[in-house]
Amino acid sequence: MGFTSSVFSDERLFQNGELRNEDLKYFMEMILMEMENHSNQELILLPFLDVNCTVNVTMVNPIRPRFVLFGSSIVQLSFALDGWGAILATIYSRKADIFLRGYSGWTSRQAVRVLDQVFPRDEAVQPSLVLVYFGGNDSVLPHPEGLNPHVSLPEYVENMRTIATHLQSLSEKTRVVFLTAPPINEAQLLEVLGIEDHDNEHRQKYADACVELCQEIGIKCIDLFHAFSEHDDWMETAFTDGMHLSAAGSRIVAREILKVLKEAQWEPSLHWEALPSEFA
């Protein structure tokens, strides 16, 4: 279908870089006007914010392997410039589709509540790969009045077990990889964000528990806590604020993911070199 460029370039849609709710309605009206004369699309419902409307869309084919990134802000921000999600999307262009399901501030407790919504078992096409990152927010030091996202270590382990079990039930070909929380730069985090309820000693306990769980249930795990620590300059280069990843930190994550995908004895292989390029 042919959208006019004005739909996507209209400055009304954005204010301070963010899409405004009232202008999303305008955006949808523009789409409906553009699609009025197209009759060969399927009808679907788009539940955007508080907008209830139906639009016609054409499915995008051919269907490629689907990779889903599921986690907290480390995932949500991964599609930013030089982020690890953007790196994967570039490497897997024409080979796989990368879907972002990142929710800033979330813990494993919130993740288990939405598993059926994010990963419905009755979906016709299931993900080929799900990369899961939770633990950074779970591992904050507990607040005496419960005013932060702390999740106890036993609950975190059981939540991650629940996530793994659900994802493994999607299909025989759905592969699951867990990523542990990396270390943080505590001094930078305090200076930039004023946050002091994170520490590496507590954080490593959650990372180690994630590794142990993955060994127990037989799924792949990327120990980012250990991987970051292998780089002499990680504390100075890996973060933008002491916790969220810089380009250098994202490159570490992307390299570790690609290494696991290359070494995994999966059929079919999900490493980028093993996947065909579309219309090559």
Burial 194-223 (b: 16+ CB within 10 A, else e): ebeebebeebbebbebbbebbeeeebbbbb
219 vs 59, which has greater pLDDT? 219
User: Are both 213 and 109 inside the same structural domain?
Assistant: yes
pLDDT in tens, 92-129: 999 999 999 999 999 999 999 999 999 999 999 999 99
User: Are both 153 and 253 inside the same structural domain?
Assistant: yes
User: Are both 27 and 149 inside the same structural domain?
Assistant: no
- Per-residue model confidence (pLDDT) at position 148: 80
Residue 41 belongs to a domain: yes
The mean pLDDT value for 151-167 works out to 98
Q: What's the domain range around 124? A: 66-264
Helix (H, G, I), strand (E, B) or coil at 275: coil
The rounded mean pLDDT for the chain is: 85
Residue 46, H or E segment: strand 42-46
- Per-residue model confidence (pLDDT) at position 143: 85
- Per-residue model confidence (pLDDT) at position 21: 55
43-52, 118-127, 195-204: least confident range: 43-52
CA-based nearest residue to 156, from 225, 211, 199: 211
Q: For residue 162, is it left (φ>0), alpha (ψ between -120 and 50) or beta?
A: alpha
Q: Give the pTM.
A: 0.79
Task: Give the integer Cα–Cα distance in Å for 13 and 15.
Answer: 7
Query: 204: domain CATH number?
Result: 3.40.50.1110
User: Are both 50 and 186 inside the same structural domain?
Assistant: no
User: Are both 140 and 227 inside the same structural domain?
Assistant: yes
| Contact indicator for 71, 179 with CB cutoff of 8 Å | yes
User: Are both 44 and 144 inside the same structural domain?
Assistant: no
User: What residues act catalytically?
Assistant: 72, 241, 244
Find tokens 């970051």 and name the residue: 228
Residue 43, H or E segment: strand 42-46
212 vs 48, which has greater pLDDT? 212
- Per-residue model confidence (pLDDT) at position 145: 74
> Which tokens go with 146?
């419960």
pLDDT in tens, 14-42: 444 444 555 555 555 655 555 454 444 44
User: Are both 228 and 127 inside the same structural domain?
Assistant: yes
- Per-residue model confidence (pLDDT) at position 9: 40
Beta strands in 47-186 (DSSP E): 53-57, 66-71, 97-102, 129-133, 175-179
User: Are both 102 and 153 inside the same structural domain?
Assistant: yes
Residue 114 belongs to a domain: yes
CA 46 vs. chain centroid, Å, equals 21
Query: How many structural domains are present in the chain?
Result: 2
Confidence band, pLDDT 50/70/90 cuts, at residue 144: confident
Find tokens 């209830």 and name the residue: 52
User: Are both 199 and 248 inside the same structural domain?
Assistant: yes
User: Are both 17 and 119 inside the same structural domain?
Assistant: no
Confidence band, pLDDT 50/70/90 cuts, at residue 59: low
